[in-house]
Amino acid sequence: MKKFLFALLAMAIIAPVTLKADDDMPIPVDQLPAAAKDFVKQYFPDKTIVYAEKEMKFSGVEYQARLSDGAKIKFNGDGSWDKVDCKYYAVPAALVPEFIATYVQTNYPGVMITKIDKELYGYEIEINNGLDLKFSPTGQLLGIDD
């Protein structure tokens, strides 16, 4: 019984390391889900996908795409967007829930939302003054990080 528990413990320690080593795999752009490619065409029509990656996670497959201007987009296994990081320019306004856009315009006039990330608790955004703002799905501000 002790040997069995030891073996189980060893596998539990080694398995995540093994999975982590193989979880990021470059893929041809045409292997991205159709929904991901359509998303880029709709919201970034003047950009092209220059790099794509498939990531194996415990929760399933994720994809990442890098655009010709350096923006990074993370997609769920079905091709729906999860995170958009435009670095130095604003994320497309259509991706930002109205309550977040209103809050940012009211409290931080003149700044851009450069990153938006869907989280379990709601949304996390980054604005170009260096602040990260966290919102619930109903629009409540949950926190600010710098």
136 three-state secondary structure: coil
> Which of 74, 81, 77, 76 has the alpha carbon at shortest distance from 42?
81
Asked if the model's pLDDT at residue 4 lies above 80, the reply is no
Closest CA to 67 of 96, 93, 88: 88
Report how far residue 93's alpha carbon sits from residue 112's, in angstroms, rounded to the nearest whole number.
10
Residue finishing a domain among 63, 85, 107 = 85
Residue 91 shares a structural domain with residue 58: no
* Same structural domain, 78 and 121: no
Same domain, 80 and 8: yes
Judgement on whether residues 91 and 105 belong to the same structural domain of the protein:
yes
Within a 10 A sphere around the Cβ of 39, how many other Cβ atoms?
21
Same domain assignment for residues 44 and 78 = yes
Same domain as 54, residue 3: yes
Provide the residue range defining the domain that includes 137: 86-146
The residue assigned the tokens 């996908």 is: 49
- One domain, residues 52 and 121: no
For residues 42 and 75, membership in a common domain is answered with: yes
Strand pairing report for 141-145 and 113-119: unpaired
Quote the percentage of the chain above a pLDDT of 70.
Answer: 84
On whether both 61 and 77 belong to a single domain, the answer is yes
Q: What is the CATH number of the domain that holds 102?
A: 3.40.1420.30
**Segments in 2-140 forming alpha helices (H):** 2-21, 34-43, 98-107
Answer yes or no: do 1 and 14 share one domain: yes
- Of 60, 85, 110, the residue that ends a domain is 85
User: Rounded to an integer, what distance in angstroms lies between the CA atom of residue 82 and that of residue 123?
Assistant: 10
Distance between CA atoms of residues 31 and 47, nearest Å: 18
Q: What is the tens place of the pLDDT at every residue in 84-114?
A: 999 989 999 999 999 999 999 999 999 999 9
pLDDT for res 2: 54
Domain boundary among 70, 85, 100: 85
